[in-house]
Structures are given as C-alpha cells and as structure tokens.
Chain A
C-alpha cells in the first residue's frame, strides 16, 4: 500500500516523513549516509580512491604527465579534473558527449581545486617555463544515488593524498628530464576541502545528503565546500527556491561538523595504510 502511494504521490509520501523530522530510509534531516573510502586500489593509476556515500559510488584515478606550463604562469603546473557520468551509473544519462550534469560537476570540481588551493600549483613546477607536472584527475561515477558533488570532492581529495610523484632532474647537458621512478614523494596537500550538499523542500525545509529520489523532488539544492579553519571555499546554489541568510548560516555550521567527520575518517584510513 505504501509503495502504491509512493508511486502516485511521491511528494506527499515524503512530506509525511518530513513532518516527523525523519526520512524514508530512517535518517534524520541532518544525517549523512554511511561513508566508506578505499585508497590506492588501481595499480595503473598514480593515485586512486573509491568513495561510497550510501549507494552513490565514485572512483577517482589520477595520472601524472609532463606538460609545458601555460605561458601566463610559467612557474605553475596544472590540475585537470573531469567527471564522467555514463549510462552505467544511472538510467538518466545517455551515451555520447558529456551531458549538462557532468559538465557542471567537472566545473564545480575545477572551482574547488582552484579556490581551496588544495595543491599549490608552484609545487607542480619542475623547470620554470619548460616543464611542469600535469595532474589528470578522472572521476567516474559508478552508481548515482544522489549527492554526486560530495562524493566527487571526497574521492578527489583522497586520491590526491595518495598520489606519488617521482623525482625528476633536468640533465644539464642534454636538457632532458630524467625520471627516477624509485624515488617517489607524496604531494603536498595544503588544505582539505570537504563538500556538504543540501536539498530544499517546499522552499523551507533543508535536508542534508539527498538521495536521487530526494533530489528529484527537491525545489532547490545547495552545496557548501568548507576548509579546515572554517574557511569557505565554494558555495554552489544553482537557482531553485530562495534561502534566507539564517538558513545559510545553519548550512555552514552543518558543513563545519561534516568537515570534522570526513577529516577523521580520512585520517583513520591513511593511518592504517602508513606501514608500507
């Protein structure tokens, strides 16, 4: 009976739960789904991670390559993120060139990298004006059950912490780069940006970490990216219903708490991996 009601009137069905301050999957309005992270499983990638936020699964693989630094910033390397939402992860996507959602997600990740300065671009430079590291970060969504942006940000951060750059010396005589694959060092991760997404229901109610059904029923979404010191890296609110300043403040305080949770999880995972 409940299943029938849910199909016919999904919004009413949800409202019944929201009135009791909970959601159909048993979570509270401010509760995240179980987050799990797995690091370094892809041997061919220079850094990799797999993040599961409930059912949403995102895998991030980073490959490092040589590249010429851009002419307007000769002492900087660069990071190229790409989010791939294929028909594999959900019904809604078609095969072919990246759709709107994938492009928005890619741009969002690029903005987060840029704003948070998670990797200092100067660290990626090998020889100013001639050679620099280029990090190609490819995020593949394997299962889309809402809240892609949070999962992607977390996967990217975990993968970046896992990347090892080999030592490169420029041979003075031949002016060629010599790569020493035996000596590798981890990237210097300056900050840890963590994203928290919210969905707005009926223009008033805010719920954290929406599933795909909730995203479809929502009247608006909001994503806040927070740093360690409570610094705001990115605020993504693509239209939708309006929010008051007070609600926004609530969101930001929730984002700060979420940052602590995620940081704790990541520290645990990396600590358990250290003896290598």
Chain B
C-alpha cells in the first residue's frame, strides 16, 4: 500500500507509538458471576471476552475422557460486527476453528491438566472488536479467566504479536499494520521459565532477522505479563476486602 508509512523516519508508527511499544491494555477479571471464571481485556481497540467453565464432567461422549488428565475445549467466536466488513459466520468457519485449536494447544501446555483426570475444562472466547492482535488478546483474556476460575496453571500465558518493517521489529501490531502484508509473528510465552507455548509466523522473513523479531515479541509478552500480574493482584485484593479479611 504505497503512501501509508508504517514507520516514519523519526521512528513513529501510524498510531504514534514507538517500535517496541504496546497499545494501552485494560483488563478486568470476574465480569460475569454465572461462569466459573471470566475476564475482559482491551488491547488498544481490540476487545476480547473470555469465559471458563470447569473443571466439570465430560459432556457428550464419555469415550473422549482422558484417564490421566483433563480435556481442554476451546471455542473462538468473533462477532459479526467486530471487523470493518461484516463477517458472515461468527463461528464454525475455518479461521475460527483454527483459532480454537491454537488456543487449545496453548492452554494444554500451561494448565495443570493432570490434577483433574476424566474431566473437561471449557474456554470460550468472544471477540467484540478486532483491531489487530486478536490471538494475543484472546490468550491474555483466557489466562485471566482461567485464573479467575481457580484452575491451577503452570504459569501465566502471555501473548503478543510482532512484525518487521524497514529493518525494525514492531511489537503489538494493529489492524492497519497487519493488513500491510509484512511478516507477522504471534507468540505465546510462559514468562517465568521463558518457554514458548505457541509460535506462529506468516509471510516471509529472513532467518537472520528472526532472532530480532522473536526477542521483540518476547519482551512485549513479558511487559504484558507485568500488567496482567498487577490486574490479578488487584482483583484478589478487592475480593479479599469484600470477603472481609
């Protein structure tokens, strides 16, 4: 797209951020009383909601029950009004199924499933407004929701997207930057151990530059972790005040 400068000479992006700067993140836990765990996150203009039910008995066929660990079931749904162009199918289409699978794989790595054999944990994610970085927002929201449900996890799962423009790695891409067509990386990290739960890359990137982009994404994920940690502590503090500690 000629004419749209993703990175200016002074190092500013389209929305005025620096290369490694994240968008404003606001998150809340326990938004719905009915579900076991719920959370809402806003990353810039991307708004995602996650709801967790479980651990509970397996619904549907008992045969799917795993004898030594819990089954993690993720469903991703994107509202029809979440994107600029109206989306025809909110769920059930290929992209939603792929996202659901990616979320499941991410959380199977983090949740201590061995503690709940023969049971099921449901994670439902709903994207209300998509402005880039939907996978990252979903993972971050789902982490908070799982923590709100009290399901034990190995570590936080923090995710962030990264891209590469003009020799510089950009963190937390917005929709405009994603649509420009450059290489994009989505990273889900377990911050304390530095282990990568999920890594996905689109478009072409030279192997020499991979290191730089990966480091930018990892640093951004760690920044997200600091924020989510603060949100959880605040929530617990408020909850303990209400319980009259």
A138 to B88, CA, bound (A): 11
In the complex the two chains form, is B90's CB within 8 Å of A42's CB? no
Q: Which of B79, B90, B92, B122 contacts A87 (CB 8 A)?
A: B122
User: A65 contacts which chain B residues (CB < 8 A)?
Assistant: 86
In the complex the two chains form, is A44's CB within 8 Å of B84's CB? yes
| B103: min CB distance to chain A, Å | 14
Give the nearest-CB partner of B42 in chain A: A41
In the complex the two chains form, is B129's CB within 8 Å of A44's CB? yes
Give the nearest-CB partner of A134 in chain B: B86
Instruction: Report if B53 contacts A (CB, 8 A).
Output: yes
Instruction: Report if B164 contacts A (CB, 8 A).
Output: no
| B88: min CB distance to chain A, Å | 10
A145 to B124, CA, bound (A): 18
User: A91 contacts which chain B residues (CB < 8 A)?
Assistant: 53
In the complex the two chains form, is B128's CB within 8 Å of A42's CB? yes
Q: Which of A57, A61, A144 contacts B79 (CB 8 A)?
A: A61
In the complex the two chains form, is A57's CB within 8 Å of B32's CB? yes
| B35: min CB distance to chain A, Å | 8
A143 to B92, CA, bound (A): 21
Instruction: Report if A88 contacts B (CB, 8 A).
Output: yes
In the complex the two chains form, is A140's CB within 8 Å of B86's CB? no
A56 to B181, CA, bound (A): 41
Interface-located stretch among B44-52, B61-69, B182-190, B214-222 = B44-52
User: A45 contacts which chain B residues (CB < 8 A)?
Assistant: 81-82, 129
In the complex the two chains form, is B75's CB within 8 Å of A87's CB? yes
| A101: min CB distance to chain B, Å | 16
Q: Which of A42, A90, A96 contacts B81 (CB 8 A)?
A: A42
Instruction: Report if B243 contacts A (CB, 8 A).
Output: no
In the complex the two chains form, is A142's CB within 8 Å of B47's CB? no
Instruction: Report if A86 contacts B (CB, 8 A).
Output: yes
Instruction: Report if B2 contacts A (CB, 8 A).
Output: no
Instruction: Report if A48 contacts B (CB, 8 A).
Output: yes
| B39: min CB distance to chain A, Å | 12
Q: Which of A63, A87, A90 contacts B34 (CB 8 A)?
A: A90
Q: Which of chain A's residues 99-139 have a Cβ closer than 8 Å to chain B? A: 136, 138
In the complex the two chains form, is A61's CB within 8 Å of B32's CB? no
Instruction: Report if B130 contacts A (CB, 8 A).
Output: yes
In the complex the two chains form, is B75's CB within 8 Å of A142's CB? no
Instruction: Report if B168 contacts A (CB, 8 A).
Output: no
| A144: min CB distance to chain B, Å | 7
In the complex the two chains form, is A48's CB within 8 Å of B81's CB? yes
In the complex the two chains form, is B126's CB within 8 Å of A44's CB? no
Q: A86-B126, A87-B122 are in contact. Are A44 and B82 (CB under 8 A)?
A: yes
In the complex the two chains form, is B80's CB within 8 Å of A136's CB? yes
| A219: min CB distance to chain B, Å | 24
In the complex the two chains form, is A88's CB within 8 Å of B124's CB? yes
Instruction: Report if A162 contacts B (CB, 8 A).
Output: no
A268 to B75, CA, bound (A): 38
| A145: min CB distance to chain B, Å | 6
Could you mark each residue 32-66 of chain A with 1 if its beta carbon is under 8 Å from any beta carbon of chain B, else 0? Answer: 00000000001111101000000101010111010
In the complex the two chains form, is B75's CB within 8 Å of A95's CB? yes
Could you mark each residue 11-47 of chain B with 1 if its beta carbon is under 8 Å from any beta carbon of chain A, else 0? Answer: 0000000000000000000001111000000000101
In the complex the two chains form, is B124's CB within 8 Å of A43's CB? no
In the complex the two chains form, is A61's CB within 8 Å of B81's CB? yes
User: B75 contacts which chain A residues (CB < 8 A)?
Assistant: 86-88, 95
The winner among B35, B51, B86 for most chain A CB atoms within 10 A is B86
Instruction: Report if B83 contacts A (CB, 8 A).
Output: yes
| B21: min CB distance to chain A, Å | 21
In the complex the two chains form, is B81's CB within 8 Å of A63's CB? yes
Give the nearest-CB partner of A54 in chain B: B33
Instruction: Report if B161 contacts A (CB, 8 A).
Output: no
Q: Which of A59, A84, A90, A94 contacts B128 (CB 8 A)?
A: A59
Give the nearest-CB partner of A59 in chain B: B128
Instruction: Report if B77 contacts A (CB, 8 A).
Output: yes
Could you mark each residue 171-212 of chain B with 1 if its beta carbon is under 8 Å from any beta carbon of chain A, else 0? Answer: 000000000000000000000000000000000000000000
With A55-B33, A87-B122 known, 19 other A-B pairs at CB within 8 A are A42-B79, A42-B82, A44-B82, A44-B130, A44-B131, A55-B32, A61-B79, A86-B77, A86-B124, A87-B53, A87-B124, A90-B34, A94-B59, A136-B86, A138-B81, A140-B79, A140-B126, A143-B34, A145-B34
Q: A residues engaging B (CB < 8 A)?
A: 42-46, 48, 55, 57, 59, 61-63, 65, 82, 84, 86-88, 90-91, 94-96, 136, 138, 140, 142-145
Ranked 10 nearest A-B pairs via Cβ: A61-B81, A45-B81, A88-B124, A63-B86, A143-B32, A138-B80, A88-B51, A63-B81, A42-B129, A44-B129
